[in-house]
Structure 1
Amino acid sequence: MSNVVKNWAGNITFGARRRHLPRSVAEVRDLVAAGGPLRVLGSGHSFNRMADTTGDLVDLLGLPRIVEIAADRRTVRVDGGIRYGELADRLDSEGLAVHNMASLPHISVAGAVTTATHGSGVGNGNLATSVAGIELIRGDGELVTLRRGDAGFDGAVVGLGALGVVTALTLDVVPAFELRQYVYDDLPRASLEEHLPEILAAGYSVSLFTNWASEDINHAWFKRTEPMPEGPYFGARPADGPRHPVPGVPADNSTEQFGVPGPWHARLPHFRMEFSPSTGAELQSEWMVPLDRALEAIDAVARVRERIAPVLQVNELRTVAADDLWLSMNYQRASLGLHFTWIADTAAVLPAVAAVEEQLAPLEPRPHWGKVFTQDAATVRGRYPRFADFRALAQQHDPAGVFRNAWLDDILGT
């Protein structure tokens, strides 16, 4: 198959010799057994070179779709190429759901899990926390299965593609549920000062969006099981029309608002599955900081808002519960995520990224693995108490370095 030229955003041109679209797990094992370097391409929704390689890219989209619901209806086994939108439709038809979804339903389940991608909600762990079992082909071509509670499981789930090719995952599921989505305009900065914890906990999932034109928040999105109270909310006004997360952009591809009840998978993402969420003409960064220091983080970004505003499309603030996955950005730390959607100009964006990192440094920010950051690898490693254990686990599963690339060598410090 012809080479993949660029990622979803278009800022990365892959250096792979070949791109493979295997049709079976056996074909994947043969590719791995032939030796590396080799990396797996998910939905291409990463913004750095974590998926790049000078060897071969493996695209799992061609694997047969698997959606096997356990007899007790508590878990589902899925293939390594399925995307959340497709999985959501299948689960909902069976009266089931996953606990949360990211902003985009278009991303692959395995890719989201291996980078600890997430939605929002003070009670919701990131998407990797739903993993109960992982099947991967390690560096020697052998297929291994790890289940929750097994030695190394907590290190393998958010694996950055360093341990092997994830061919299947078993996920926790819950009964399907309905949500209502409400959007409010112009949340005052004073309300954050007085009520930020209450605001962030005012829904199953909550997101605040600002372009930092001022210190106020442009839009507050609440995804709830119960109706919102009438009138303004913490000083913000109910939106008089549908909104897109980026202020001023038409809301055609946004999920339904105004409190209309709907299925979980049609409200948790910000964007409808049937639409492309954007042209991809953007870069993204995100950092996780301790939730109990959320207001400090917001104030830190506010100090550089005039420096970042020219290259910023929108900054989303959201929450993620703590977990015990070794390389999760939320490892043993309930978090505020500060997600930045930038313009598609790397040279102009990188100084803004560095400015945000400098301001957030006292809060020990953990960058999203799949997005743009400039923190040096040694600093990033120092944010993770179990990083040395992860490095040993990667060596155990891939001693020959089949899955290594320059980005991963830098992160691992080898």
Structure 2
Amino acid sequence: MAVAWQGGPVHLNWAGNLTYTAREVARPTTLDELADVLARADKVRALGSRHSFNDVADTPGVHVQVDALDDGRPAVDLDPATGVASVTAGLRYGDIMRTLHAEGRALATMASLPHISVAGAVATATHGSGDATRSLAGAVVGLELMTPDGGRHRLVRGDADFAGAVVSLGALGVVTRVDLETEPAYEVRQDVALDLPWDTLLERFDDVTGAAYSVSVFTGWDEPAARHVWFKSRVDGGVVAGDDGRPDALRHLRWATAPQHPVPGVDPVACTEQLGVPGPWYDRLSHFRLEFTPSAGAELQSEYLLPRRNAVAAVEAMRRLGPVVAPHLLTSEIRTIAADDLWLSPFDEDSVGFHFTWLQHDAEVRAVLPRIEEALLPLGARPHWGKLFAVGLPDVAATYPRFADFRALAERMDPAGKLRGGYVERLLG
């Protein structure tokens, strides 16, 4: 029988803005124990690292965590012939990255935090930044999951249901293993430019985001210039850099001579190394180091993903909202993401993300979100599945051309609706 806890702080999400309604948390250590949890629960949902800011992972029944699950295979099982790494789904990206690097392998991208779980990040289409890099879900080539009837299923890229099963919001089963593409390990250097003129960003958006392997623009939206641009350049080639290693296309920018934090006035000690010092991919692509807790969680987050072709119009729209947004904002980030073919991924074409890290002003933020959506939804924006948003779920579902196919897949794999809870219950009806 799986170990379970009643009540306690585990029923809060990471930010502390949400109290889960689950009556029990189970932490199975074997596949048989997981099957037992699924059999006896009337309602059940997988719970990852709790970094969602809404109730996408909630359930009135049993929360199941698979971070202690042992299926008899290595937690990180690298196939040297193909470079595919099969990893236990409940692991954090930070738990696998050093193992991969020690084997001479790397992931193509990382999210801002290495503290998030693999299965949870994949299921919600969480992403990093880079014109040519897809979301974390884009690296998935196979996954294993257990359905509520105890059935064990393996799906690989090319299977009929694969594209519907990767970004699944946990609605198909409890994912137990994820197979990830890797590539040869590489090094990255990180340089931060200060006070990028808005005219430069608007007139040369492609030059800015294409000047390095991964680029993030930070702003408060009410400032006379974009506060920071973080350029993460691969040392092994790719974008051509000048003699000093900085992006050659933007040599006129003013460069930071001391480490920076995305939030003004915060000590950058938790941030990955900057100032152009090369280091392993895993210690540069994320903004924050694994060994630090970059925030106490006293924040809220929203994000909207929209077609890259509308990026400039979206920046202009957000600048007009600067006086409304800024009083409740810690920082905002602009990132780019390459397209994929996953049914519930918002990246069905090359995209740009507008991320908002808010002060914990819950009522005020919820009042601002409709203003942002009024500006961005007509430009094709969709909310991140795991963040705060105001738009109604039927309207969100209508923006995904394969949503009806996903609903049919969910009904086939979970006909009794055991895996429905939180807004997934409302989304699927």
What TM-score, normalized to structure 1? 0.97
Structure 1 residue 215, shift from structure 2 partner: 4.4
Residue 289 (structure 1) aligned to one of 295, 306, 318: 306
Contact preservation (8 Å) 1:218, 1:247: no
Give 2:44's aligned residue: 38
Q: Secondary structure in 1 aligned to 2:51?
A: coil
Structure 1 residue 22, shift from structure 2 partner: 0.8
Give 1:2's aligned residue: 6
Residue identity matched to 1:154: A
Tell me whether 228-237 or 99-108 shows the greater mean CA deviation.
Answer: 228-237
Q: How does 1:167-206 map to 2 (within 5 A)?
A: 167-206=176-215
Q: Secondary structure in 2 aligned to 1:252?
A: helix
The reply to whether residue 249 of structure 1 matches residue 258 of structure 2 is no
Residue identity matched to 2:93: Y
Give 1:280's aligned residue: 297
Contact preservation (8 Å) 1:36, 1:401: no
Give 1:112's aligned residue: 121
Residue 217 (structure 2) aligned to one of 205, 208, 214: 208
Return the alpha-carbon distance in structure 1 between the equivalents of residues 218 and 26 of structure 2: 39
The reply to whether residue 141 of structure 1 matches residue 145 of structure 2 is no
Q: Secondary structure in 2 aligned to 1:61?
A: coil
Deviation per residue, 1:319-351 (Å, 9 max, x gap): 0000100000102x1100000000112111111
Structure 1 residue 194, shift from structure 2 partner: 1.9
Structure 1 residue 228, shift from structure 2 partner: 5.2
Give 1:365's aligned residue: 381
Tell me whether 30-39 or 342-351 shows the greater mean CA deviation.
Answer: 30-39
Return the alpha-carbon distance in structure 1 between the equivalents of residues 42 and 49 of structure 2: 21
The reply to whether residue 299 of structure 1 matches residue 308 of structure 2 is no
Q: Which runs of 4+ in 1 moved over 4 A?
A: 226-232
Return the alpha-carbon distance in structure 2 between the equivalents of residues 190 and 360 of structure 1: 20
Question: What is the number of residues matched between the two proteins?
Answer: 412
Q: Secondary structure in 2 aligned to 1:51?
A: coil
Q: Secondary structure in 1 aligned to 2:179?
A: strand
Residue identity matched to 1:294: A
Per the alignment, do residues 229 and 278 of structure 1 end up closer, same or farther by CA in structure 2, a change over 3 Å counting?
A: farther
Give 2:397's aligned residue: 381
Return the alpha-carbon distance in structure 1 between the equivalents of residues 114 and 242 of structure 2: 25
Tell me whether 365-374 or 207-216 shows the greater mean CA deviation.
Answer: 207-216
Q: How does 1:4-403 map to 2 (within 5 A)?
A: 4-64=10-70, 66-226=75-235, 227=241, 233=250, 235-331=252-348, 333-403=349-419
Structure 1 residue 235, shift from structure 2 partner: 4.9
Contact preservation (8 Å) 2:35, 2:148: no
Per the alignment, do residues 307 and 229 of structure 1 end up closer, same or farther by CA in structure 2, a change over 3 Å counting?
A: farther
Contact preservation (8 Å) 2:124, 2:384: yes
Tell me whether 374-383 or 316-325 shows the greater mean CA deviation.
Answer: 374-383
Return the alpha-carbon distance in structure 1 between the equivalents of residues 417 and 316 of structure 2: 43
Q: Secondary structure in 1 aligned to 2:217?
A: strand
Return the alpha-carbon distance in structure 2 between the equivalents of residues 299 and 328 of structure 1: 25
Return the alpha-carbon distance in structure 2 between the equivalents of residues 300 and 357 of structure 1: 10
Residue identity matched to 1:7: N
Return the alpha-carbon distance in structure 1 between the equivalents of residues 400 and 373 of structure 2: 17
Tell me whether 212-221 or 126-135 shows the greater mean CA deviation.
Answer: 212-221
Structure 1 residue 229, shift from structure 2 partner: 5.8
Residue identity matched to 1:45: H
Return the alpha-carbon distance in structure 2 between the equivalents of residues 5 and 29 of structure 1: 22
Tell me whether 264-273 or 357-366 shows the greater mean CA deviation.
Answer: 357-366
Return the alpha-carbon distance in structure 2 between the equivalents of residues 182 and 344 of structure 1: 30
Return the alpha-carbon distance in structure 1 between the equivalents of residues 225 and 426 of structure 2: 38
Residue identity matched to 1:377: L
Residue identity matched to 1:298: V
Deviation per residue, 1:23-47 (Å, 9 max, x gap): 1122111111224311111000000
Unaligned runs of 5+ in 1: none
Give 2:238's aligned residue: none
Return the alpha-carbon distance in structure 1 between the equivalents of residues 100 and 422 of structure 2: 38
Considering only aligned residues, what root-mean-square deviation do their CA atoms show, in Å?
Answer: 1.4
Contact preservation (8 Å) 1:211, 1:247: no
Return the alpha-carbon distance in structure 2 between the equivalents of residues 86 and 340 of structure 1: 27
Return the alpha-carbon distance in structure 1 between the equivalents of residues 213 and 6 of structure 2: 43
What TM-score, normalized to structure 2? 0.94
Tell me whether 32-41 or 373-382 shows the greater mean CA deviation.
Answer: 32-41
Return the alpha-carbon distance in structure 2 between the equivalents of residues 69 and 48 of structure 1: 34
